[in-house]
Structure 1
Amino acid sequence: MTKWAKAVNPPGERAAAILDAATGVFLRYGYRKTSMDDLARAAGLSRQGLYLHFRTKEALFDAVVEHLAGSVRETALNALADGGRTVADRLADALAAVHDSPASTGLRELTGELPARLHHDVVAAIADLVRRNGIESRWREHGVTADELAEHLFTASSGARPDRRREQMAVAVRIVTRGGCPQRTV
């Protein structure tokens, strides 16, 4: 069951506008200091009108988090799409989108972290790209799977300096996509 199940009406144009307005209010005041009156005012509705769309502040907050996570997921998955770019550029762009997009920043400000499902979906899409492009085969002899490579890239991107994330991710992606493991000599 999705967070939208707590909403009275399914997502639509009006619900999206409410979510956008609510995002700004929650980011400005935080969950605890935000009232339904604040949220209704920001959305241009009466409080009763807001209740027609969302039963509770918690349901609206959950929908905002889901909306932001969906936006980050869509941006990252779109970055992984071909579009005539190299695999390395697509990977670096997707990882930067996960951490540096406005929706990602807002999501972390509201929740303190990226939701586990978003993490899982992006890592799975990266692993799929790694498999489809033969990158996993370069690592197989060293016992490294596409899933492990994808998780490694995601984790590395999480630890990269925000002001240098794209540059640092380009290096990590080059290592994964081009070189593979060097041969060991004893």
Structure 2
Amino acid sequence: MMIRHVLLIAAGSAVLAACSSPQGNLPPIQKMEQTVYRLGAGDEVRISVFGLDALTNTYVVGDAGTISLPLVDEIPARGKTTQELEALIANNLRQRDVIKDPSVSAQVLKYRPFFILGEVQRPGQYAYVPGMSVLTAVSIAGGYTFRADSKSASITRNEGDKIIKGQATPQTPVMPGDTVFVPEDWF
């Protein structure tokens, strides 16, 4: 009788631990095999227009995904490469007869931040570092807590119009704007 109670409690605990896992049955996060960076809200971009110093400045992509330039108005930047942004600005300047043959350059100065939550020493928002992994993100956040499951994490990522969520390992690349979650290790 006593053994049966112990077995029932052990089985119940295992079921509850599995149910409470924030990872659940998430698929692995898709690797982003991007060779070019796509802009998003929070990115800081240096725009230079040769011969038009009034436009040469540093701009931040707003929450709406646009950059507001004097003489040009709102330029959609979210999801665009810097080359696509250069072409949009040049076309806009040409159409408005501001400059006949504009030469525009755009360069990302500061990437949008990433976020890390869960079992890390200092959860929060941090500056993105190109080439970073989940392990790098954890290091930036002060390392794992003693309760952390150091072998797994989940990433929530904005990919254009959709939000994806998946499992990650310490070596999984982190992208600007990602939210990394480090779960508690139950056993």
Under a length normalisation based on structure 1, what TM-score does the superposition of the two structures give? 0.32
Name whichever structure is richer in strand by fraction.
Answer: 2
User: Which structure would you say has the larger RCO, counting Cα contacts within 8 Å and 6 or more residues apart?
Assistant: 2
Name whichever structure is richer in helix by fraction.
Answer: 1
Under a length normalisation based on structure 2, what TM-score does the superposition of the two structures give? 0.32
